[in-house]
């Protein structure tokens, strides 16, 4: 077990709604990254936070936004949900911004109907 916890584990939302996913990073880790994994695909990088600042972003539209809190936990917010947003959302924490290892949570399975 990595010590990275995500909530909720499963979620069903309607198209157009908004969703917030949460992640508690492993103790001592100050960097959190979010990934989207569509069914049968590899994870795609959404963004990374380091000490409460966004530190890199992938090719996702602005309706994907995030926060990192002083305790280094993090939220992923998605507005105006689309059917294609249905995926497993993975949070990973690292001990440093340049850390080579990322420890993943179990993920949140989001289904948009």
What residues line the site for other proteins (CB under 8 A)? 2, 33, 35, 40-45, 48, 55-58, 90, 92, 97-98, 100-107
Nearer to other proteins, 43 or 66 (CB): 43
Nearer to other proteins, 35 or 72 (CB): 35
CA distance readout (Å), 84 to 35, 55, 113: 15, 25, 10
Q: For residues 11 and 78, is the Cβ–Cβ distance under 8 A?
A: no
Rounded to a whole number of angstroms, the minimum distance from the CB of residue 70 to other proteins is: 22
Q: Which residues touch 5 (CB under 8 Å, ≥6 apart)?
A: 23, 24, 105, 106
Calculate the CA 78 to chain-centre distance: 10
Q: Burial, 66: exposed, middle or buried (Cβ in 10 Å; 0-12, 13-18, 19+)?
A: buried
Nearer to other proteins, 45 or 69 (CB): 45
Rounded to a whole number of angstroms, the minimum distance from the CB of residue 71 to other proteins is: 21
Rounded to a whole number of angstroms, the minimum distance from the CB of residue 15 to other proteins is: 26
Rounded to a whole number of angstroms, the minimum distance from the CB of residue 90 to other proteins is: 6
């Amino acid at each position: 077990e990595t010590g990275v916890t995500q909530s909720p584990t499963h979620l069903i939302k309607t198209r157009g709604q908004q969703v917030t996913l949460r992640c508690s990073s492993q103790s001592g880790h100050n960097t959190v990254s979010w990934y989207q994994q569509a069914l049968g695909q590899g994870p795609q990088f959404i963004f990374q936070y380091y000490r409460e600042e966004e530190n890199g972003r992938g090719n996702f539209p602005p309706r994907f936004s995030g926060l990192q809190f002083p305790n280094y936990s993090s939220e992923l917010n998605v507005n105006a949900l689309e059917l294609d947003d249905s995926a497993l959302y993975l949070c990973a924490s690292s001990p440093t911004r340049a850390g080579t290892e990322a420890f993943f949570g179990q993920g949140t399975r989001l289904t948009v109907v």
